[in-house]
Amino acid sequence: MGCPGWLRGSRFKAVTKSGRYLLFYDAETADAYESDVYYARLRSPTEMSRAIFPKFRDTWRTVCTVERRLGDGIAAAVLTLRLGANDPVPFEALAALAPARLDLLQGHKSVGQAHTTEKDLRPAPDRQIERAIVAFFWSVEDAEKARAAHAPSAEVFALRHTVSKSDLGQ
């Protein structure tokens, strides 16, 4: 969170799939993921990172920009749906359920992808998304209902913690 342009970082744990996590970061612009400060951290991971990253499996890491947003903030649960470029987008159907925030995201394959020590620690290269829906709901139950009704291939995660720039006195 101490990188220029970073606003908030949140960690979620999958509700139904054991060992799955979502790390979600908000930044002022996609350029925040190209800063020298950011890359310096990735090139010099902490001892904890060096212990954890080799255990990562099936990683998806993509810097995205917001195509469309409704609401703001983070809530107790998040529904994530990876989309191809031409896949139908259930934005309106999910918006009708009054989530705390709903984002349609566009992935950028070349942003934030420089070679780093952190990448070397993971057993396989990161995969990337083309587009995604990320819907923050007030409860896991609400997110599960949304998944069942409008996005059966989506995954639901429960919030573990979130830290914003202001939490760190920045």
The closest alpha carbon to 44, from 121, 112, 128, 109, belongs to 121
The verdict on residue 28 lying in a domain is yes
Q: Greatest CA span in the chain, whole angstroms? A: 45
Question: Residue 158: pLDDT band by 50, 70, 90 thresholds?
Answer: very high
- Mean pLDDT in residue range 79-99: 96
- The total domain count for the chain is 1
What is the model's pLDDT at position 120? 84
The verdict on residue 78 lying in a domain is yes
The verdict on residue 34 lying in a domain is yes
One-letter amino acid at 30 equals A
The verdict on residue 38 lying in a domain is yes
The verdict on residue 46 lying in a domain is yes
What is the model's pLDDT at position 168? 73
What is the model's pLDDT at position 1? 57
The verdict on residue 103 lying in a domain is yes
Range of the domain at 164: 6-168
pLDDT digits (tens, 9 = 90+) for 97-154: 999 999 999 999 888 788 888 888 888 888 999 999 999 999 999 999 999 999 999 9
For residue 170, pLDDT beyond 70: no
Burial class (CB in 10 A: 0-12, 13-18, 19+), 49: middle
The verdict on residue 1 lying in a domain is no
What is the model's pLDDT at position 2? 75
The verdict on residue 25 lying in a domain is yes
CATH of the domain at 108: 3.30.70
